[in-house]
C-alpha cells in the first residue's frame, strides 16, 4: 500500500464520485477489512483513542465483512466500522460499482446547487451557463422530485432531531448524486416555483467548467476562481474573490485578484460551498492579509504538533515589493464550507484579522491520509486534529460566524445575497472606524 497525504478535503467529492482509477484487484473482503481496522488503530491521532474498544469493534464486525457477497456489502460494513469513530475524514472511496453490472457516471451536473432550508431542498444558486439556467430554473425554487423520486423519500433517513448543520450536509450528500449523471443526458426534476406552481423541467447535464486538477486517487476536480469589484452601501469598493476548492491552481488567480483590489476599501473572500483541499495553502493565502508569521492553527497528531503560520506575501505577481493588504477582510461561509476552508476562516478569525459572515460551517476539519486497500478501494483516514491559534477546535463545531446571516427562501427568490450584503455593509463601518 502506498501512503499519500490527503487534502482536507475534497472528501465530499471523493466519497460521492469514487476514485479516479478503476481497480483491477480481486475481491478480498477479509484482507480489506483487516487493513482498514489496522490502519485506523496504528494511525489514529488521539492519544486517548480507546484501543480496547477498537479491538471489540473489529471482533464484532469482521464476520460480517467476510460474509459480504458484493463490494457494496463489504463497504457497508466498513462504513459501519468507521462511523463508530464519530469523526469526519474516515471513509472508503469505491474504485468499482457496489454491485456487478452497476455503471455509475456522475461526471456532469445540471447547473444548480441546493441547500436545506426548513427541511426543504431549495435551489441556492444557478450557474448562468448551465443547463438549469437554460431551462429557466431560478434560485429559491423548491426541488420536489429527481428522476421521478420524491425528494421527501430521499430525505426520509434524516431524523427530525438531526442538528441543522449535520442535516444540511446529509441532504447534500443524498441528493447531489441523483442530480448528476453522464454528460449530455437530461435530468427530469420537479420544482415548486416562486409562485407556488408545480413545474417539471428536463435539464441537460453538462460537464463542469474550470481547470481540471487530479491528486492521487481522488476524482478530477475543476478549479474555478471568480473575482469582481463590488460597491459598498456607502459608496466604497470591495474586491470579492471566490473559489470552489483549495488547489494550487487557485494561488496565481488569487494573487492577480489581490493585485487588482489592493486599493479597494475592503476584501471579501467567498468560501461558501468550498469543501476544502490542500491544507498547506492556507498559509500562503493568509499571507496576503497578515504582516507577521502569526499562527493560524496547530495540527495535533498522536506524537507531535505542527504549526500553520501565515506567510506574509511581500511581492506581487510581477515581483514588485508590496505590503500585505491592511484593510478590512470579510469571509463568507455556509453549511457546505469545509475542512481547509474552515482552517483558513477560523484561523484568520482567531487572529482578529477577518470577520466571518453567513451560516456555521461543516465542522469537518481533520487532515487526512489515503491508502490503497487490497480490494482496490482507497481509505481516507484522519491523522491529526486542528485547533486555531487561540485553541478553538473546529471539528464537530464548525466556524461560527461573527455575524450570522440566515439563508432564506424568500431572499433567494428576491435575488438577494444577504450574506454578501452584510459583509459589504460591515466594510463601510470598519472603514469609518479606521478614519475616526
Q: What is the DSSP letter of 156?
A: G
Q: Among positive and negative, which fits the CA dihedral 224, 228, 233, 234?
A: positive
Contact 87, 43 (CB under 8 A): no
pLDDT by residue, tens only, the chain of 436 residues: 333 444 445 455 554 555 454 444 567 899 999 999 999 999 898 888 999 999 999 999 999 999 998 888 999 999 999 999 988 888 888 877 766 655 567 789 999 999 999 999 999 999 999 999 999 999 999 999 999 999 999 999 888 888 888 888 889 888 988 999 898 899 999 999 999 999 999 999 999 889 988 776 566 788 999 999 999 999 999 999 999 999 999 999 999 999 999 999 999 999 999 998 888 999 999 999 999 999 999 988 887 888 999 999 999 989 999 999 999 999 999 999 999 999 999 999 999 999 999 999 998 888 788 888 999 888 888 888 889 998 999 988 999 999 999 999 999 999 999 999 999 999 999 988 877 6
Q: Rounded to 5, what percent of the chain is helix, strand, coil? A: 30, 25, 45
Helix (H, G, I), strand (E, B) or coil at 228: strand
- Give the pTM: 0.89
Amino acid at each position: 500500500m502506498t501512503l499519500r497525504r490527503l487534502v482536507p478535503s475534497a472528501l465530499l467529492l471523493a466519497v460521492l464520485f469514487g476514485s479516479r482509477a478503476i481497480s483491477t484487484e480481486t475481491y478480498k473482503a477479509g484482507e480489506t477489512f483487516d487493513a482498514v481496522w489496522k490502519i485506523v488503530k496504528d494511525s489514529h491521532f488521539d492519544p486517548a483513542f480507546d484501543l480496547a474498544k477498537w479491538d471489540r469493534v473489529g471482533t464484532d464486525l469482521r464476520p460480517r465483512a467476510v460474509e459480504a457477497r458484493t463490494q457494496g456489502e463489504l463497504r457497508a460494513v466498513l462504513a459501519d466500522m468507521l462511523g463508530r469513530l464519530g469523526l469526519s475524514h474516515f471513509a472508503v472511496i469505491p474504485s468499482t460499482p457496489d454491485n456487478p453490472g452497476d455503471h455509475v457516471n456522475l461526471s456532469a451536473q445540471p447547473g444548480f446547487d441546493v441547500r436545506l432550508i426548513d427541511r426543504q431542498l431549495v435551489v441556492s444558486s444557478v450557474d448562468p451557463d448551465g443547463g438549469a439556467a437554460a431551462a429557466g430554473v431560478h434560485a429559491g425554487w423548491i426541488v420536489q422530485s429527481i428522476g421521478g423520486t420524491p425528494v421527501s423519500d430521499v430525505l426520509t433517513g434524516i431524523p427530525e432531531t438531526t442538528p441543522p448543520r449535520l442535516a444540511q450536509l446529509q441532504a447534500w450528500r443524498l441528493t447531489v448524486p441523483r442530480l448528476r449523471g453522464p454528460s449530455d443526458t437530461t435530468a427530469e426534476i420537479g420544482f415548486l416555483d416562486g409562485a407556488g406552481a408545480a413545474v417539471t423541467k428536463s435539464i441537460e447535464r453538462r460537464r463542469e467548467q474550470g481547470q481540471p486538477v487530479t491528486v492521487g486517487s481522488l476524482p478530477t476536480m475543476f478549479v474555478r476562481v471568480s473575482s469582481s469589484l463590488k460597491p459598498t452601501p456607502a459608496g466604497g469598493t470591495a474586491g470579492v474573490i471566490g473559489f470552489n476548492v483549495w488547489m494550487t491552481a487557485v494561488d496565481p488567480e488569487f494573487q492577480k485578484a489581490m493585485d487588482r483590489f489592493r486599493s479597494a476599501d475592503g476584501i471579501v473572500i467567498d468560501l461558501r460551498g468550498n469543501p476544502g483541499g490542500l491544507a498547506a495553502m492556507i498559509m500562503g493565502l493568509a499571507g496576503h492579509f497578515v504582516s507577521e508569521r502569526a499562527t493560524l492553527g496547530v495540527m495535533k497528531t498522536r506524537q507531535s504538533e505542527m504549526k500553520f503560520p501565515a506567510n506574509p506575501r511581500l511581492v506581487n505577481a510581477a515581483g514588485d515589493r508590496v505590503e500585505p493588504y491592511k484593510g478590512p477582510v470579510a469571509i463568507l461561509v455556509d453549511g457546505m464550507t469545509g475542512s481547509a476552508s474552515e482552517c483558513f476562516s477560523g484561523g484568520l478569525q482567531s487572529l482578529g484579522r477577518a470577520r466571518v459572515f453567513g451560516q456555521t460551517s461543516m465542522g469537518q476539519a481533520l487532515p487526512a491520509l489515503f491508502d490503497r486497500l487490497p480490494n482496490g478501494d482507497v481509505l481516507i483516514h484522519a491523522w491529526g486534529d486542528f485547533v486555531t491559534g487561540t485553541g478553538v477546535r473546529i471539528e464537530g463545531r464548525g466556524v461560527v460566524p461573527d455575524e450570522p446571516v440566515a439563508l432564506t427562501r424568500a431572499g433567494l427568490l428576491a435575488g438577494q445575497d444577504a450574506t454578501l450584503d452584510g459583509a459589504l455593509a460591515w466594510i463601510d463601518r470598519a472603514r469609518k472606524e479606521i478614519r475616526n
